[in-house]
Chains A and B, each alone.
Chain A
C-alpha cells in the first residue's frame, strides 16, 4: 500500500501524520496491534493469503506469519466461536466477518457466548475480542452486502458497538477497540473505504497505551452549527456534512454530530449539542422501525425535552429488505430527504 508522508510527517508527541485511505488506516491499526501485542490474532475469510476482499489486511500475513494472520473456513459461527475460545485462553482475537449480512450465522456465538462470557464467569474470563464487520451500503453490492446491524448488536448486553466515519477515526477507534478488554463490534463503512485523509499514527511504542484522548463512548462534533443538529454515524456522517454545506447556502447553519459509538451512546454529548441547536434530525441507513434512531430520539427527548423547538426527526432506510444495487440510491437517505426533515424542524 502506498502512503504519502504529509509535511514534516511528525505531529505532537512524535506521532506520524500520514495521508491515507480508510482501508489503509484500518490496515495500519491492525499492523500496530499485531506489532505491540503478541497475543493479537487476525483471522477470517480471505484475510490471510488474499489480504481481504477490500485489501484491508493486505500484507499482514507476510509480515506476521500464518500463525497470527490466517484464513478460516466459510463458517462465521466458527470464526466467532474460535475467537471466544482463544480469548478464554489469553489471546486477543480480531476476527473479521467478511460482510454485514454474513454476521447473521454468527449471532449465536456473538450473543450467547462472546457478549456474556465475562458476566457468566463472574469476571474470570474477559473477552477482548474485536469483531471487524464491513457494514452498511453504498457500493452497489449484491444482497447480504449492505446491511446495517447496529441496532441489533447495540441491543445485546455485554457488547460495545462502534462505527468510524473517516480514516483517522477508523485508525484510532480500531486500536481503542482492540485494546479494550470487552468485546466490540467494529462496523466499517464500506462506502468510505476509499476516503483519503490525514491520519495521526501512533508514535513510539511508549505511547501505545494512549488511545488518543477521547474515551470509549465519546462522540465528535464533525461540524459546529446553531440551527439544528444532524446526528449520524458511519458513511452518513459524510452525507450530513454535504447537507450542511448546502443548507449553509440557504443561511441555515447545521451542526453534524458523529456519534461514533453506538453503544455506549454519548448521551451527554448528544444532549449538549441538541440543547444548543434546539432541533435534531437523526440519519441512518438501517430501516426505520426499531432502528437506532428511535433510541437516539428517546435519549434526546428524555434529556432535553424542554429545550426542543420541534419533534426529533428521523431520516432512514425503508422497512424493506436492503435493495439490489441500482435501487440503493433511492433506499439510502438522500440529500433531499435530509433537507426536508431539517425543514420540518425549522417550520414546526
Chain B
C-alpha cells in the first residue's frame, strides 16, 4: 500500500490554473483507473478528468469552487500496488465466470 498524490497537470495552451467544478468521488471511496474523478473548468473549457490510479481516495486537496494552480496537489490516493509506469496490475476473480459446460468422453 502506498499513498500517491495527483497534482493538477499542465493543461496546455498556457493555462496555469483551473477551478474545481465538481468532485465525482469522495474520500473513503474506491475508484478505478480511468473512472471519472473530477470536473474542472479552465478559461477554455470544462473537462472531466479520469482517475490516474486505482485505489481508495484519502484526501481531496481542494473544495468545489476553489481555484487550483498547475502543479498543486489535487487528490491523494491509497494505491494497492503500482503496476509500474505502464499498465495496471491484473485482477483475478476468485471464481471465474463460465458459460461452457463440458461432457466427459465415453471411456
Could you list which residues of chain A lie within 8 angstroms of chain B, going by C-beta atoms? 52-55, 99, 138-142, 145, 190-191, 194, 227, 242, 246-247, 250-252, 309, 335-336, 339-340, 342-343, 346-347
Beyond contacts A55-B84, A141-B86: 18 other A-B pairs, Cβ-Cβ < 8 A, are A139-B83, A139-B86, A139-B87, A140-B90, A141-B87, A142-B86, A191-B90, A194-B89, A227-B104, A250-B103, A251-B104, A252-B105, A336-B98, A339-B98, A339-B102, A343-B102, A346-B102, A346-B104
Contacts of B105 in A (CB 8 A): 227, 252, 309, 346
Contacts of A142 in B (CB 8 A): 86
Question: In this complex, what residue of B is CB-closest to A46?
Answer: B85
Contacts of B103 in A (CB 8 A): 250, 343, 346-347
B interface SS class: loop
**Cβ-defined contact, A190 with B87, below 8 A:** yes
**Cβ-defined contact, B100 with A336, below 8 A:** yes
Bound CA span A55–B84, Å: 7
**Cβ-defined contact, A194 with B81, below 8 A:** yes
Contacts of B12 in A (CB 8 A): none
**Cβ-defined contact, A140 with B87, below 8 A:** yes
Bound CA span A308–B97, Å: 30
Bound CA span A339–B100, Å: 6
CB-defined interface of B72-96 with A at 8 Å, one 1/0 digit per residue? 0000000001011111111000001
23 A-B pairs with C-beta separation under 8 A: A55-B84, A139-B83, A139-B86, A140-B87, A140-B90, A141-B86, A142-B86, A145-B86, A145-B87, A194-B81, A194-B89, A194-B90, A246-B98, A250-B101, A250-B102, A336-B98, A336-B99, A342-B102, A343-B102, A346-B102, A346-B103, A346-B105, A347-B103
Minimal beta-carbon separation of A247 from chain B (angstroms):
6
Contacts of B101 in A (CB 8 A): 250, 339
Question: In this complex, what residue of B is CB-closest to A340?
Answer: B100
Contacts of B100 in A (CB 8 A): 336, 339-340, 343
Could you list which residues of chain B lie within 8 angstroms of chain A, going by C-beta atoms? 81, 83-90, 96-105
**Cβ-defined contact, A138 with B85, below 8 A:** no
Bound CA span A141–B33, Å: 12
Bound CA span A100–B60, Å: 38
A interface SS class: loop
**Cβ-defined contact, A53 with B90, below 8 A:** no
Contacts of B97 in A (CB 8 A): 335
Bound CA span A140–B100, Å: 25
Bound CA span A99–B98, Å: 32
Q: Using known A-B contacts A139-B83, A141-B87, determine if residue A335 contacts B96 with beta carbons closer than 8 Å.
A: yes
Minimal beta-carbon separation of A52 from chain B (angstroms):
8
Minimal beta-carbon separation of A307 from chain B (angstroms):
14
**Cβ-defined contact, B96 with A139, below 8 A:** no
Minimal beta-carbon separation of B88 from chain A (angstroms):
5
Q: Using known A-B contacts A194-B81, A336-B98, A336-B99, determine if residue A250 contacts B104 with beta carbons closer than 8 Å.
A: yes
Contacts of A191 in B (CB 8 A): 90
Bound CA span A53–B83, Å: 9
Contacts of B84 in A (CB 8 A): 52-55
Contacts of B98 in A (CB 8 A): 246, 335-336, 339
Contacts of A52 in B (CB 8 A): 84
Contacts of B81 in A (CB 8 A): 194
Contacts of B83 in A (CB 8 A): 54, 139
Bound CA span A52–B83, Å: 12
Q: Using known A-B contacts A247-B102, A252-B102, A346-B102, determine if residue A242 contacts B86 with beta carbons closer than 8 Å.
A: no
Contacts of B88 in A (CB 8 A): 139-140
Bound CA span A227–B11, Å: 59
Question: In this complex, what residue of B is CB-closest to A341?
Answer: B100
Bound CA span A346–B90, Å: 31
**Cβ-defined contact, B104 with A139, below 8 A:** no
Minimal beta-carbon separation of B62 from chain A (angstroms):
29
Bound CA span A55–B87, Å: 13
Chain A CB count within 10 A is highest, among B85, B86, B87, B99, for B87
Minimal beta-carbon separation of B56 from chain A (angstroms):
19
Bound CA span A210–B86, Å: 36
